[in-house]
Structure 1
């Protein structure tokens, strides 16, 4: 019997799961696993037991990036939460990236990870460019949507520069000249004027959340930036318009 969630969601961007609470030492005993005291493998092992990739018997995990904030203890009671942040086709397989977090019974985030799985069966939804944030095809969709928005054009009517958008290891550049995006590329020769940066799970929240809370998150410093910080702050309004269009594209694709 699975120790994770019993539902079998389709593996698509934005799909979330939450496990039951389990005491660490009891969970390991139930699974027949013995780990040495003080091992750094305790958190990753517990998270894997509580959060299998559902409905994908042939999936292989290819990458795991784990962070420990406060190591879990064998006597702790914990649960996991996960969200899929990317689904992309690669040949006859699909790569699924998700964030997994480990919380204790006080709801404190103790450890978290970003992992990538290669899926060879039919457990995933088709790859959707509209939710492949900061990839080149996504950037083209955003450009085409913005081309019909007079508010975006007027907000950058006198501006000549490049807006960079980064999600995890993907970055797209929108080359803007006087209110019009004249090029969409992974890199521009002189680099972006500034780059808006957020991790995959934050992009999911921004794009698929019930309301556009970009401004609130920006004010509280949830995002980061690279390049010209003054221009990043000065162009908050057009950047908010970019996010609004990207949200509309993503939500229409998911409907």
Structure 2
């Protein structure tokens, strides 16, 4: 069983990885019993492969067995903390087979007695994160010049958290959860995809986009046309996050 590399403070980007084991061995070791082809095999295995979040109490579990494992499969469990806010934290879990394919995945919610330390640089798409990002973007001439004739709103969404950057001729004039007329387009990704994108060793935004890890809502033409400034936004988000975790 694996353990988090840090116990306090809990931070977005904290990861664990278990050793590969057969599902049958994991279930036998834990005393769990289920039919050989049960759809809950993966969830039962994860409960034994992954350590609890230190200091937290599990209060939610959303699991997706998109390619259910069998008792003979050799699997490992990878986890990453995707959001820490107030007294709650979310952890994403992947159940990966020997070939490296993600067979099942899901998100846990953990609750704590006390408020967890706030790290705005890692609270993707929250207002405080947006304010930090807007300050840096406003000083980036490449970003402002690329939008010098544009009038619109770029939306950024991480899971259920959404932020709007209202832009007029290269200037960010407002940072808010919602603008009155909505976003021109919104860049959408799950919390774990934001964590992977922003905290990976290199900025592989374009490669991930081509693989379909992200989506968009609103004006698709403007989304594609503004790929360059969006890539700049991601680059600065990466700088903020990596500095916060350094």
Question: Which SS does the other structure have where 2:207 is aligned?
Answer: helix
Contact 1:9 1:54 (8 Å CA) reproduced: no
Paired with 2:190 and 2:71, the residues of 1 have a C-alpha distance of: 30
- The residue that corresponds to 1:14 in the other structure is 13
SS in structure 2 opposite 1:238? helix
- Look up the match of 2:50: 51
Aligned equivalent of 2:64: 67
In the TM superposition, residue 88 of structure 1 has moved relative to its aligned partner by 1.4
TM-score by length of 2: 0.92
1:251 pairs with one of 232, 242, 245: 242
Residues 215 and 32 (structure 1 numbering): CA distance in 2 closer, same or farther, change over 3 Å? closer
Find out whether 1:86 has 2:79 as its counterpart. Answer: no
Q: Displacement, 1:25?
A: 2.1
1-structure distance, mates of 2:108, 2:74: 23
Q: 2:223 matched to 1:226? A: no
User: 2:199, 2:190 → 1: CA distance?
Assistant: 14
Does structure 2 retain, via aligned residues, the 8 Å contact 1:8–1:55? no
What stretches of structure 1 of length at least 5 have no aligned partner?
Answer: none
Shift of 1:120: 3.2
Moved over 4 A (4+): none
The alignment status of 1:132 with 2:108, answered yes or no, reads no
C-alpha distance 246-7 of structure 1, shift in aligned 2 (>3 A): closer
Q: 1:143 aligns with which of 106, 127, 134?
A: 134
Secondary structure of 2:193 counterpart = helix
Q: Secondary structure at the match of 1:39?
A: coil
Q: CA deviation at 1:216?
A: 2.6
Report the secondary structure of 1:243's partner residue: helix
The offset of 1:6, in angstroms, is: 4.7
Deviation string, structure 1 residues 22-55 (Cα, Å, up to 9, x no partner): 2222222222222245432221111111012243
What pairs with 1:102-181 in structure 2 (closer than 5 Å)? 102-120=95-113, 126-181=117-172
Give, in whole Å, the separation in 2 of the partners of 1:38 and 1:215.
39
Return 209-218 or 180-189, whichever deviates more: 209-218
- Paired with 1:9 and 1:199, the residues of 2 have a C-alpha distance of 24
Q: Give the Cα separation in 1 of the matches to 2:54 and 2:5.
A: 6
SS in 1 for 2:72: coil
- Number of aligned pairs? 244
